[in-house]
Chain A
Amino acid sequence: MRKNTLNPIPCTPHLSVNIAGIKLDNPVMCASGTFNFAEEYSEIIDIKKLGAIVTKTITLEPRQGNPPSRVCETASGMLNCIGLQNPGVEEFIKTKLPFLRKCKVPVIVSIAGETTEEYCRLVQILSKEKGISAFEVNISCPNVRSKIRNMMFSQDSKATFEVVHQIKKFSKIPVIVKLSPNVTSISVIAIAAEMAGADALALINTPIGMAVDAKKKTPILSMITGGLSGPCIKPIALRMVWETFNCVKIPIIGIGGIMDWKDAIEFILCGAKAVEVGTANFVDPNVMPNIVEGIKNYMHENKIKDLKEIVGKLKINK
C-alpha cells in the first residue's frame, strides 16, 4: 500500500456529512489516541483537510499510564496497553484546547472515567468550554476497568445504558458512544446506548489481544494483554458496523484498520456515515488527506453526488 497522490477533481462531489448535528466537511477523522491533540501531525499535514479531530481520551485526573513495554507489532497490526496516559481535564483545557480551537475543524473530545460520576463531572467541566463540537464517550478502553464492575462499561448493556443516560442529562452537545468489540452481542450494547439517548455510535474500539516472546517465555506487553489495531481487525470491525447498522437508527462512525480510501468506502457501504482512521496515521502521516481525495475520486467515478447515497447500501444477493 504505497502513498498514492491523487489529483483533486474539478467537479467536486458532496463530501460533507452531518453526524448528529455536527457538520463535517468530509467523513474522515482521526481515531482517539492516535493523533494526540493534533499539534504533532500539524507539522506534517494540513489539519484543515480532516473532517474532525477526535482528541486523545481525557480523564478527570492526570493519568501516567502503564509501564513499558506498551506497544508491539503483530502481523498486519499492533497491540497497545498505553493505559490512557493523559494530562487530565484541567491541563487539557489550559494547554491543549487553545491549539485545537485554532485548527478550524470540529473538535470531538474523547472522555473516560472509572465511574458514571466521573463521566458526568467531565461533561460538566468541559461543557463550560467553547470550541468543542461533541463528546466521544470512551466506555471501551481495553486497558482500564470501571471501578464498579471490574470490566468495561461497554461490556454490559445495563452499565452502558446507565452511563450514557446520565451523561445525556448533563451534555449540551452531541454524545458519541464508542463501543467495544469484546462483547457477545454488539447489537445488544448498541441498542442500549441508543435507548439511553446516544446521538451517534463509534465502533470498534480495539479487540483484546496478546503477544508472547517465545525466547524469553514472557508476554511482550507489560500488562500482558492489550488492544489490537491495524488492518488485521478490519473484518471484525466491518461485521460489527454492519450488524449495528441493521439494528439502530442513529449514525455510526466506522473504525478499525482503515488504511486507504477503499477501506473507508467498505465501512460506508456497511452503514458508517463517517470513519475514523487510527493506526494508519503511524504508517503514513498523509493517510487521512489521501483518503479524502480517494473518496472524492471514487464518488466522481461512480457518479455519486452525495455520500448519503451509499451509506449502508451494501448489495446483498438473496
Chain B
Amino acid sequence: MQVCDCRILENLRIEKDFFRMTISAPQIAERSEAGQFLHLRCNDSQRILRRPFSIHRVIRDRIQILYRVVGSGSLEFSEKKKEETVDVLGPLGTGFKIPEDIKKIIIIAGGMGVAPLLMLADKIKSIRTIKRQSVTVLIGAKTKEEILCEKEFQKLGFKVHVATDNGSKGHKGLVTDLLKSLLCTPYSVPCTAVYACGPKPMLLGTAEICLSHKVPTQVSMEERMACGIGVCYGCSVSTIDGYKLVCKDGPVFDAQEIIWD
C-alpha cells in the first residue's frame, strides 16, 4: 500500500458515460491482485473523500480502472486529460481467492461489476490447471450499450452469455437467470467456483442460487467508504462474524458469510 501521483496515459470514453482510465503506476501494479481497489483523490476541496475504484486490469506497469460517471467525483475524473496526474492510494483491500482444486469457474457481472472481474479473468487464464472451456462469463446490464467487456472476456477464450433488462441483447431478464439455468443443466458442480460483482440485489440473487447448489461463491461488495485502509470503520458490512470492513477485510467476501438484509 502506498500513495503516489500517477501519470494518466489514457482516459477514454468507451460508451455513453462509461470511461476507462489507464495510469502509469509501476509499484502499485506490481503488488495488485484481482479484486483489490485504488483510492483516488479529488482535486476539488468540496469533495474531500477519495473515491474507490476496482482495479480493472494490470498491464505490466500500467493499471486500468473502468468507471461510470455517477456523481461529481467520477465526473471530475472523466474530465482528466492524458499526461495529467492523479493521486492514488493503493493497492487496497482483500481480493479474490482461487483455490487450487478449482476446475470450473463462473464469473457473473452486473453492470459496472465487470470492472474487477476482467483482472480476475486475466489471472484465471494464467492458471494452467483451469481449462479455458471450463470458464463461463455471465454479463448483465440494463441495455445492450451497458454490456461492457464482452469482447475482452471472449478474447481470453472464455464463453460469454449476456442478459439485458430490456432484451436488447441476449437473454431478456436478469443475469442471475442465466446462472440458474447454467447450474440446473447437467453441470458437474464439484470443483466449481462462482465469482460475482454487481448491485446488491444481484449479489444476493447469486448467493441464494449458489447456496442451493452448494457452490462456493465470492462476492465483491460496495459500501460508503472514507479512509480505504481500515482505520475509520466507516464501510462496515454485516457478516456472521459481526461487522467486517469492505475496505480491508473485503471488498471480496465469501457469499455465505454475508448477512443480506
Which residues of chain A have a CB within 8 Å of any CB of chain B? 1-3, 33-36, 40-41, 43-44, 56, 64-65, 67-73, 75-78, 80, 82, 85, 220, 230-231, 279, 281-286
Q: A68-B223, A70-B224 are in contact. List 9 more A-B contacts (CB 8 A).
A: A36-B231, A44-B2, A64-B242, A65-B243, A70-B235, A72-B224, A75-B46, A80-B234, A85-B233
Cross-chain pair count, CB within 8 angstroms: 95
Stretch of B47-55, B56-64, B155-163 with 4 or more beta carbons under 8 angstroms from chain A:
B47-55
Closest to A36 in B: B231
Considering the chains assembled together, what is the distance between the CA atoms of A41 and B3 in angstroms? Answer: 11
Is the Cβ of B243 less than 8 Å from the Cβ of A285?
Answer: no
17 contacts between A and B (CB under 8 A): A3-B87, A34-B231, A35-B231, A44-B1, A56-B231, A65-B233, A68-B235, A68-B236, A69-B224, A71-B226, A76-B45, A78-B48, A279-B48, A281-B227, A282-B49, A283-B50, A284-B87
Considering the chains assembled together, what is the distance between the CA atoms of A76 and B237 in angstroms? Answer: 26
Interface string of B21-62 (1 = CB under 8 A from A): 000000000000000000001010111111000000000000
A80: which B residues are within 8 A, CB to CB? 226, 232, 234
B87: which A residues are within 8 A, CB to CB? 3, 284
Known contacts A34-B232, A68-B236, A283-B50; A231 and B41 CB within 8 A of each other: no
Considering the chains assembled together, what is the distance between the CA atoms of A33 and B50 in angstroms? Answer: 18
Shortest CB–CB separation between residue B236 and chain A, in angstroms? Answer: 5
Considering the chains assembled together, what is the distance between the CA atoms of A85 and B243 in angstroms? Answer: 9
Is the Cβ of A33 less than 8 Å from the Cβ of B232?
Answer: yes
Which residues of chain B have a CB within 8 Å of any CB of chain A? 1-3, 5, 41, 43, 45-50, 87, 89, 223-238, 242-243
Shortest CB–CB separation between residue A61 and chain B, in angstroms? Answer: 14
Is the Cβ of B47 less than 8 Å from the Cβ of A73?
Answer: yes
Main secondary structure of the interface of B (DSSP, over half): loop
A230: which B residues are within 8 A, CB to CB? 48
Our pick among A41, A70, A78 for the contact of B49 (Cβ within 8 Å) is A78
Is the Cβ of B231 less than 8 Å from the Cβ of A70?
Answer: no
Most chain A beta-carbon contacts within 10 A, residue among B89, B237, B238, B243: B243
Our pick among A1, A78, A285 for the contact of B3 (Cβ within 8 Å) is A285
Is the Cβ of B235 less than 8 Å from the Cβ of A71?
Answer: yes
Considering the chains assembled together, what is the distance between the CA atoms of A70 and B225 in angstroms? Answer: 8
Is the Cβ of B46 less than 8 Å from the Cβ of A282?
Answer: no
B234: which A residues are within 8 A, CB to CB? 70-71, 80, 82
Known contacts A3-B87, A72-B224; A40 and B231 CB within 8 A of each other: yes
Closest 7 CB pairs of A and B: A71-B234, A36-B231, A282-B227, A73-B49, A85-B233, A69-B224, A71-B226
Considering the chains assembled together, what is the distance between the CA atoms of A103 and B236 in angstroms? Answer: 28
Known contacts A44-B3, A70-B224; A77 and B233 CB within 8 A of each other: no
Is the Cβ of A71 less than 8 Å from the Cβ of B225?
Answer: yes
A220: which B residues are within 8 A, CB to CB? 224
Considering the chains assembled together, what is the distance between the CA atoms of A82 and B228 in angstroms? Answer: 15
Shortest CB–CB separation between residue B219 and chain A, in angstroms? Answer: 15
A65: which B residues are within 8 A, CB to CB? 233, 236, 243
